[in-house]
Amino acid sequence: MKIEDVQYRTLKEVEAMERFDLKSMPKRAKWYLQVVAWLLSIPETYIRHVKIEKVNMDKVKAPYVLLCNHNSFFDFKVATRAFFPKRANYVVAVDGFINREKLMRNVGCLGKRKFVSDPAIVKQLRHTLEVNKSIAVIYPEARYSLIGTTAILPESLGKLIKMFKYPVVTLISHGHHLHEPVWNLIKKKVPVKSVMTYLFSKEDLETMPLDEINKKLKEAFYYNDYEYQYNNKIKVRGDNRAKNLHKVLYRCPHCLTDYSMKSENNNLYCEKCNHNYFVDEYSKLKEVNGETIFDFIPDWFEWQRKEVRKEIDSGNYSITSEVQIDSLPNSTGYYCLGVGKLTHNKNGFLLEADLQGEKFRIQKPVLSNLGVHIEYDYFGKGDCISFSTNDDTYYLYPLDQSKSVTKYHFAVEELYKIANENSTQKSE
């Protein structure tokens, strides 16, 4: 079936389906498929005039761990060119295997459900490095950046690479979000650049304390596409620069109303208080008729995080929505189960439904989710959030599409920070 098709199934039918295999060892990429991957990836990177700066890469040989930032599908193509002609095994979310699992496994991919603890991944990555002698490609942010800035890295990342004791390389790309923002998939002509850096040697990992490794990883993963654009005076010409920007900048800084922002062409405006921001060719914001509170898109975005944190700290944060529930048990596609109720508050997520007379309930405590996966107008079905169990991934589409799912993004991360700090203090 097509990935965008809606297939209706009962809860019992989905529960009886075979689950996606998360434990099998990754294959060494078939040579002929590797050639196909190169042919599909490398020409486009030359057409886009991709520049790859390599720092100390003459001092490292494969196999190594390659950590990449994540802004668009174009990231995979740039990575393929960056380590050409070496082979790799890629950690890919289960949805990337839909209708092509055999192909994906033969090209060297291994599947994982996002934001779920999975002990098998350690064995699979070790197999990649020690048996396949391949580069282990990991996107530790686990999702596309919503605003072209660094997402939270899992605390376990430093521990993972220290455990392997293989060299670590980072590939940080700049401009990929500008080229194709996750909330506006109209591709734009933007010069892009990637920096490939030999970050840790085996000896570094053996001798450096974990705190220092994580600090260096955080520093290496800093990127900000709007800062990159402005500093390099990169113009994005034409229309639709603000199209769908209200999906990520959903709260008005003037009247402090959630979900009142709308966008059209190159303008972002509030339906309640009528403040109107023009997005110029450098993605700078300017209020058309009055005071400009934010002229930098990431500043507005992070201000919203602070506003959500205030709600949490005051005890007022809680969202309850009716949602369409789609299930992804394996690589055969999405199955619509019906409508349920999603609640998110200080206790985490609670998804409840009565599906064909069967009670359905999933609870995700705060500490079980470092972050949450968000999609905008996913295959034309609408905006959604998703979370996983070990056996399934659920895509949840609010029936009221006027409310931005981006607020969940901030709330999940801030609640996790609070719970993690509290847990750490108790253990000390």
Q: What is the mean pLDDT of residues 91-119?
A: 92
How far lies 248's CA from each of 50, 147, 200, 208, 229, in Å? 27, 8, 35, 38, 19
- Per-residue pLDDT tens digits for 324-343: 999 999 999 999 999 999 99
Domain-wise residue ranges, the chain: 20-231, 245-313, 319-427
Report yes or no: 369 and 293 within 8 Å, Cβ to Cβ.
no
What letter represents residue 186's amino acid?
I
Domain 319-427 has CATH 2.30.29.30: yes
Closest CA to 107 of 197, 35, 29: 29
- Per-residue pLDDT tens digits for 357-404: 999 999 999 999 899 999 999 999 999 999 999 999 999 999 999 999
Q: What is the mean pLDDT of residues 92-101?
A: 94
Omega before 85 within 30 of 0, i.e. cis: yes
Going across the sheet that includes 267-270, the strands are 261-264, 267-270, 276-279, 285-287
CA pair distance 208, 214, nearest whole angstrom: 10
State pTM to two decimals: 0.94
For the structural domain made of 20-231, what CATH number should be given? Answer: 3.40.1130
Q: How far apart are the first and last CA of the chain?
A: 52
CA pair distance 196, 75, nearest whole angstrom: 13
20-231 and 319-427 share one fold: no
Q: Read off the pLDDT band of 422 (50, 70, 90).
A: confident
Q: Tell me, what's the pLDDT at 194?
A: 97
Closest CA to 86 of 124, 43, 120, 137: 137
Q: Tell me, what's the pLDDT at 1?
A: 55
- Per-residue pLDDT tens digits for 154-195: 889 999 999 999 999 999 999 999 999 999 988 888 999 999
